[in-house]
Structure 1
Amino acid sequence: MALILVRYGEVAIKGVGTRSRMERLLMHNILSGLRGIGISARVTRSQGRLFVEVPDDRVKESVELISRVFGVKSLSPVRVYVFKELNDIVNAAVKEWSDLIRGRRFAVRVHRVGSHNFTSIDVAKAVGAALKPFSAGVDLERPDIELFIEIRGDKAYLFTEVINGPGGLPLGSEGRLLALYPAALTHLWLPGS
């Protein structure tokens, strides 16, 4: 199974109860959409992220669909590695990206959630130093390729793509609305008339 990391924006700023309801709604909308195109998937949530497991041969179709679901800010197909120490993350990055960066200038971008005995900068420096011999060098301003690592607990998620979604709130989270048609508006009193 392949894993897709899904980020959401406006849902995250809601109160705890509302956020939980909207997260469940977003998960439902993603699963429903994937089922609609014949993809069996599983969605879990963790600290402001959703993780969608899909069959390895259906990643491209899944990404295309999820990127059109309202409430999704962005998403990334990821490779996940369980680690015990910083060196495990460095080894995973070398395994994952050493061929990809040959002849290219790169930058490492790290986001970390949880308590660790290293910082995001420590990870970026260690991974950058280990990958530099395989590349044309490090360029933090205008790299040919960006390498992303998101660290959550004892897992490191490695990816190279961030695909934008429509953002906003999930479909089905809106309230009721009354719409007045133009014919109804002619009977309203307007100031100055």
Structure 2
Amino acid sequence: MDSVLLVRYGEIGLKGKNRPQFEQALVRRIRRALAAWPGVAVYRTPGRVWVEPPPGTDPEPLLESLQRVFGIVAVAPAERVDLHLEAIAAAAARALEAALAARGGAGGVGTGGAPTFKVEARRSNKRFPLTSLDLNRELGSRLLAARPELKVDVQRPQITVHVEVRHDGAYVYARSVPGPGGLPVGVTGRACALLSGGIDSPVAVWMAMKRGLVPICVHFHSPPFTSERAREKVVDLTRVLARWGGPLPLWVVHFTEVQRAIQLECPPELTITLMRRMMFRLAERIAARERALALVTGESLGQVASQTLESIRTISAVATLPVLRPLIGMDKAEIVERARAIGTYDTSVLPYEDCCTLFVPAHPATRPRPEQAEQAEAVRDWEPLLAEALERSERLVVEPAQGP
């Protein structure tokens, strides 16, 4: 059996004259994701990307890796056969039987009756004698004759047997594994992403990668107020995220002196606001070094005191780069659900505090104004502390976590 993996993309197909460069970026990302399997061939043809593993390769581990490649909408394990009707019909029968077995047999366990199916053929090779509609009818009638207990439903079938007739052969499949969608990481640029040890910011980093950004993760660490375990927690979160985007840079910014000065010298109700403003200033300096053109945060409108519209305005006033907030319209339940799906939730809920949860005032300002923050910051020259924080920072390159 000649097995291939048919990679389908969505948004990339709408890129017009720039489409080839997006397809090439997707191919590069797929090759990187499958680098552990030598001999796997990855190439593209109009409208499709193909993955050909060496004969005898178990496709399941490859499918699992491809499900974490942004830009992929779905991957279908397909059988390639000669351009003969009998060969195509035999492959369609095998695909249908495999789909029935996955559902629990022809009885349709859990389906409330006999499973329904249809054939969906697409003929890009116009030299093949049967049209797409002819193939649908011919293959459908043959499958139904072999499995008379099944029913045909062309509107909402439970099983769809796909047939793609191309110049080099016919590709037949009935199984499709969903991908994350979006755009390949790297096609839209670089951005500094503020990464805490909580639930929200890792999801924001993931969503930024889905839109094609390379995230430069920036974490603010305040020893001895925050422990080494808290730092390692963020490294572990970055490892999980790197499974989706490849090795990721992580800046661990020494924030102790800045945070202590805010705590001792500034109004308590503005502590969170001022801390976030200092973080933005430091993140922009890192962005300049990393050639990043935006900041990414995990803010969700109205979730906490620093995420009211007034707080967001006052904090963002110090930024000169665009500030992207992928979670701005999501509620906590949606964010938690996404965190579970991408694999960051279990690490995020480990009980190690980061600097964002320290020294939280009893009554933080929820409607701070930029002039209030500027007046509070006027108590000292912050430049030496910011320069020292950056000087004492550490830049890591975090490799992807291993395992499922």
Structures share fold, TM-score greater than 0.5: yes
What is the DSSP-based 3-state SS (H/G/I as helix, E as strand, rest coil) of the residue aligned with 2:117?
A: strand
After the TM superposition, which of the residue ranges 42-51 and 7-16 deviates more from structure 2? 7-16
Letter in 1 for 2:138: A
What is the DSSP-based 3-state SS (H/G/I as helix, E as strand, rest coil) of the residue aligned with 1:75?
A: strand
Distance in 1 (CA, whole Å) between partners of 2:28 and 2:88 is 33
Higher helix share: 2
Partner residue of 1:114?
Answer: 125
Partner residue of 2:135?
Answer: 123
Structure 1 residue 175 corresponds to structure 2 residue 189: yes
Partner residue of 1:133?
Answer: 145
Are the equivalent residues in 2 in contact too, given 1:128–1:138 (CA < 8 A)? Answer: no
Aligned pairs (5 A) from 1:65-84: 65-84=65-84
What is the DSSP-based 3-state SS (H/G/I as helix, E as strand, rest coil) of the residue aligned with 1:32?
A: helix
Distance in 2 (CA, whole Å) between partners of 1:23 and 1:187 is 34
Structure 1 residue 11 corresponds to structure 2 residue 9: no
**Larger radius of gyration, structure 1 or 2?**
2
What's the RMSD between the two structures over aligned residues?
3.0
User: Any unmatched runs of 5+ in structure 1?
Assistant: none
Instruction: For residue 169 of structure 1, report the CA deviation from its aligned partner.
Output: 1.1
Are the equivalent residues in 1 in contact too, given 2:8–2:48 (CA < 8 A)? Answer: yes
Instruction: For residue 90 of structure 1, report the CA deviation from its aligned partner.
Output: 2.6
Answer 1 or 2: higher relative contact order, Cα 8 Å, separation at least 6: 1
Query: Structure 1 length as normaliser, TM-score?
Result: 0.81
Are the equivalent residues in 1 in contact too, given 2:92–2:173 (CA < 8 A)? Answer: no
Cα distance change, pair 49–97 in 1 and its aligned pair in 2 (3 A): closer
Instruction: For residue 173 of structure 1, report the CA deviation from its aligned partner.
Output: 0.4
Are the equivalent residues in 1 in contact too, given 2:121–2:162 (CA < 8 A)? Answer: yes
Distance in 2 (CA, whole Å) between partners of 1:142 and 1:8 is 22
Instruction: For residue 154 of structure 1, report the CA deviation from its aligned partner.
Output: 4.5
Deviation per CA, 1:80-100: give whole Å up to 9, x if none: 01215x444234434x24754
Equivalenced residues, count: 186
What is the DSSP-based 3-state SS (H/G/I as helix, E as strand, rest coil) of the residue aligned with 1:57?
A: coil
After the TM superposition, which of the residue ranges 127-136 and 25-34 deviates more from structure 2? 127-136
Are the equivalent residues in 2 in contact too, given 1:99–1:134 (CA < 8 A)? Answer: no
What is the DSSP-based 3-state SS (H/G/I as helix, E as strand, rest coil) of the residue aligned with 1:171?
A: coil
After the TM superposition, which of the residue ranges 148-157 and 44-53 deviates more from structure 2? 148-157
Letter in 2 for 1:139: V
Are the equivalent residues in 2 in contact too, given 1:109–1:149 (CA < 8 A)? Answer: yes
Distance in 1 (CA, whole Å) between partners of 2:183 and 2:29 is 11
Cα distance change, pair 128–184 in 1 and its aligned pair in 2 (3 A): closer
Higher strand share: 1
Instruction: For residue 19 of structure 1, report the CA deviation from its aligned partner.
Output: 1.4
Are the equivalent residues in 2 in contact too, given 1:109–1:124 (CA < 8 A)? Answer: yes
Instruction: For residue 117 of structure 1, report the CA deviation from its aligned partner.
Output: 3.1
Instruction: For residue 132 of structure 1, report the CA deviation from its aligned partner.
Output: 1.5
Deviation per CA, 1:86-132: give whole Å up to 9, x if none: 444234434x2475457354321222223143221110110111121
Instruction: For residue 133 of structure 1, report the CA deviation from its aligned partner.
Output: 2.3
User: Any unmatched runs of 5+ in structure 2?
Assistant: 107-114, 191-292, 298-313, 321-370, 372-404
Letter in 2 for 1:112: R
Distance in 1 (CA, whole Å) between partners of 2:173 and 2:68 is 20
Cα distance change, pair 15–145 in 1 and its aligned pair in 2 (3 A): closer
Letter in 2 for 1:42: A
Letter in 2 for 1:185: A
Structure 1 residue 44 corresponds to structure 2 residue 34: no
Cα distance change, pair 137–25 in 1 and its aligned pair in 2 (3 A): same
Distance in 2 (CA, whole Å) between partners of 1:184 and 1:92 is 58
Cα distance change, pair 52–185 in 1 and its aligned pair in 2 (3 A): same
